[in-house]
Structure formats: C-alpha cells, structure tokens
Amino acid sequence: MTLLTAHKILISTAVAFFFGFALWELRNYLDAGNLWATFRGLLYLLVSIGFGLYLRSLKYWYK
C-alpha cells in the first residue's frame, strides 16, 4: 500500500464521519430545537464537503 492510498482511505473515513456527525447534530436540532446543534451540524457538513473536494483534487496533484 502506498502512502497516497493510505491518505485516500483516511480522508474518505473523515468524509463519512463528518457527514454522519452532521446528520446526527441536525437530528438533535429536530428533537430538542437547540440552535447550536444546527450550527454544529452545518459546520460539520461544510467540513465534510471540504474534505470531499480535497479527496477529488488528489488525483490532479499526483499523476
């Protein structure tokens, strides 16, 4: 396994984790009506999107 493959696996795991965590926080907002849960959910969703874009850009960096 190359270092790039290991990096892709870790970034993919981070994308899945942050997306799941965003859904969990948004569900907490729907259950309790906590506005901070909405903020955290949107923040984690943005982080997940950012990591996803970074993962897609790796193929252009390492040809």
d(CA 33, CA 45): 18
3-class state of residue 63 by DSSP: coil
d(CA 47, CA 60): 21
- Given a cut of 90, whether residue 54 has pLDDT beyond it is yes
Q: What is the pLDDT of residues 21-36, one digit of tens each?
A: 999 999 988 888 888 9
- Given a cut of 70, whether residue 15 has pLDDT beyond it is yes
DSSP state letters, 30-53: HHH--HHHHHHHHHHHHHHHHHHH
d(CA 57, CA 11): 12
